[in-house]
């Protein structure tokens, strides 16, 4: 009867010697940073919240997209948006940017001021702030309209053609307008189509 514990102990020691050593855990592959693009209206909401923290009476008078390596605006969206807000009560203005990209040609992801405060003149019609309630049609909807007025032919001819978007108030018509620009700048654009940002209707071909 005394041999049973000894035999059991031998079996335990044998099992311990024959068990395999734990295998090292394979390192988890590092995931590339997610690149986010937004329509103008979605980006504006984020920028507007930040601007209201800057000044409670902040109102935007210009919103524009930026062309980057990861985002060329062909889908009505952009990875970088810049808005200039004014505080009429204090007579100052300040730009803010939203970025969804991690790239050397884009600001750091998130919303942040894009420059120092500057003076603002409420009597200047070229920088007239607009009310957020007028922004109903988005940048991707404006692209669809612009495509029907010359844009489709341009993108078909040049698949790499970038598209920019600018939103501002037209004081002559008292309406908010999207400018869909087929090019990196307004001056050298192949086409510039204005779209009513409230109704989504075609306004005019500016170039």
Whether 136 maps to a domain, the answer reads: yes
pLDDT at 71 over 90: yes
Whether 154 maps to a domain, the answer reads: yes
What is the gyration radius of the CA atoms in the chain, in angstroms? 28
| 205 sits in which H/E element | strand 202-205
The tens digit of pLDDT for each residue in 161-179 reads: 999 999 999 999 999 999 9
Q: Is the backbone of residue 76 left (phi > 0), alpha (psi -120 to 50) or beta? A: left
Domain count, the chain: 1
Average pLDDT value over all residues in the chain = 89
- Predicted TM-score of the model (pTM): 0.83
The tens digit of pLDDT for each residue in 22-50 reads: 556 555 555 455 689 999 999 999 999 99
Whether 33 maps to a domain, the answer reads: no
Whether 4 maps to a domain, the answer reads: no
């Amino acid at each position: 009867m005394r041999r049973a514990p000894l035999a059991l102990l031998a079996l335990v020691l044998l099992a311990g010697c024959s068990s395999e050593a734990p295998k090292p855990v394979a390192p988890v592959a590092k995931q590339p940073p997610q690149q986010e693009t937004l329509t103008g209206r979605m980006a504006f909401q984020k920028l507007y919240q930040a601007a209201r923290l800057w000044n409670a009476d902040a109102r935007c008078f210009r919103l524009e997209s930026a062309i980057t390596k990861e985002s060329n605006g062909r889908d009505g969206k952009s990875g970088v948006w810049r808005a200039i807000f004014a505080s009429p009560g204090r007579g100052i203005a300040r730009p803010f940017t939203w970025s969804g990209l991690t790239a050397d040609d884009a600001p750091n992801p998130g919303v942040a001021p894009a420059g120092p405060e500057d003076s603002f003149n409420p009597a200047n019609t070229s920088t007239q702030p607009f009310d957020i309630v007028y922004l109903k049609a988005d940048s991707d909807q404006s692209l669809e309209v612009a495509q029907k007025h010359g844009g489709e032919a341009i993108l078909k001819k040049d698949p790499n053609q970038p598209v920019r978007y600018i939103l501002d108030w037209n004081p002559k018509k008292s309406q908010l307008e999207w400018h869909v620009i087929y090019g990196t700048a307004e001056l050298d654009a192949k086409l510039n189509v204005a779209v009513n940002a409230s109704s989504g209707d075609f306004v005019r071909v500016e170039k």
